[in-house]
Amino acid sequence: MTSFIRNAWYAACWSHELVTAPQAKMILGEELAVFRTESGVAGAVEDCCPHRFAPISMGNVQGENIVCGYHGMAFGCDGVCVEIPGQKNVPERARMRSYPVIERNTVVWVWMGDPAAADEGLLPDVHWLDAPGWKSVTGTTRYDCNWLLLVDNLLDLTHTTFVHKSTIGTEDVANTPVTSERDGDIVTITRVMNDATPSNFYKRVGGFQGKIDRWQKIWLDLPSTVIIDAGGVPAGTNDKSAGIDTRIISILKPVDEHTVDQVWAFARDTLLDDTDLDADIEKSIIHTFNEDVDFLAGQQHNMEKHPEKRMLNNSADAGVVQARRVIDEILAAEAGATGSPSPAAE
């Protein structure tokens, strides 16, 4: 059974990345061409012209149509051919699959499942990306692993103590237990660390000198979005005006079964005009996520080398296990039958 949940919205790219020139994207193993028409509408079609099978992403945009660069056939955002050079009639078969697209919160979202099931109400809530009083630094990181391993990684921040010592990790994270709960298909994991030592990153962003009361609240909005509500205040004060409140938003875009893109943003509600801080955050986040890249690739290698093995779960993995179970339930429902569990679900 595939590990992809198809009836869902996935991030094709950031809005600012999508210009008129078509871009080739692979999502859930499917090759797409995403583009922006001259009026600003975002579109997505399969990356294969029905004429001679040339990649439509190698073409261009003219007006409201995407035009094949091989023989000049023009198609609308609905994938239907509207013009064939030198030919008056357009055959019914002259069409490509199109994908529902919504642009919201600075993200270009593509629905990868049944178009009739596309529901705008299922878009993840990532309003911090363009909300007043918040500022975001954004990027994309690629991992050579199945997307489920990245879900595990983002839900279990215990690893930050050991992998990210120079940036966000402290001993308090690994030594503080977590609580997890499930509400429908949403899994939430919470860790509260009172009288904790601020990480190097928190010292820079929050300007903390002494101990802090720190929190991490993580929720998975299936299938693609993990949001980390993380912040801290001077210990014992509960004074958020003297602290920092952040959202680390990761929108996972499975490329194929062995590759996933993390479309990420770090949103903050403090020092909004500090461009030096913007640069520091971008450098720190890229460094932090790159530290995970090799670990997750190593996990993927060992999973493929030892398919007979099952992962061992510790108490800190409670939220991960819950999330995997929800994912398995959704996959089974989409497949119309119960499938085999994902490796960490047992």
Residues 181 and 236 in one domain: yes
Residues 179 and 274 in one domain: yes
Q: How far apart are CA 42 and CA 56, in angstroms?
A: 15
Q: How far apart are CA 195 and CA 266, in angstroms?
A: 24
- Answer yes or no: is 342 within a domain: no
Residues 118 and 132 in one domain: no
Predicted model pTM: 0.92
Q: How far apart are CA 63 and CA 249, in angstroms?
A: 34
pLDDT the model gives residue 108: 98
Owning domain of residue 110? 9-122
Residues 14 and 91 in one domain: yes
- Answer yes or no: is 60 within a domain: yes
pLDDT the model gives residue 2: 65
Residues 202 and 149 in one domain: yes
Domain final residue, candidates 76, 91, 122: 122
Nearest-CA neighbor of 300 among 192, 155, 152, 187?
A: 152
Residues 135 and 115 in one domain: no
pLDDT the model gives residue 243: 86
151 within 8 A of 323, measured Cβ to Cβ: yes
Tokens matching residue 222: 């299936």
Tokens matching residue 233: 């205040």
Residues 103 and 186 in one domain: no
Residues 182 and 113 in one domain: no
Output the domain CATH number for residue 134.
3.90.380.10
- Answer yes or no: is 4 within a domain: no
pLDDT the model gives residue 338: 40
Task: Specify the DSSP class assigned to residue 4.
Answer: -
- Answer yes or no: is 228 within a domain: yes
pLDDT the model gives residue 336: 85
**Domain count of the fold of the chain:** 2
- Answer yes or no: is 2 within a domain: no
Supply the DSSP string of 229-268, one letter for each residue.
EEEEEETTT--GGGSEEEEEEEEEEEEETTEEEEEEEEEE
pLDDT the model gives residue 160: 87
pLDDT the model gives residue 263: 98
pLDDT the model gives residue 241: 80
Domain final residue, candidates 91, 122, 153: 122
Residues 66 and 33 in one domain: yes
Residues 249 and 277 in one domain: yes
- Answer yes or no: is 3 within a domain: no
Neighbours of 180 (CB within 10 A): 19
Residues 90 and 207 in one domain: no
- Answer yes or no: is 229 within a domain: yes
Domain final residue, candidates 81, 104, 122: 122
| Mean pLDDT in consecutive groups of 10 residues from the start of the chain, 346 residues | 87 94 97 98 98 98 98 98 96 97 98 96 96 96 97 92 82 89 92 91 85 94 93 90 91 98 95 93 93 96 95 90 93 72 47
Residues 137 and 278 in one domain: yes
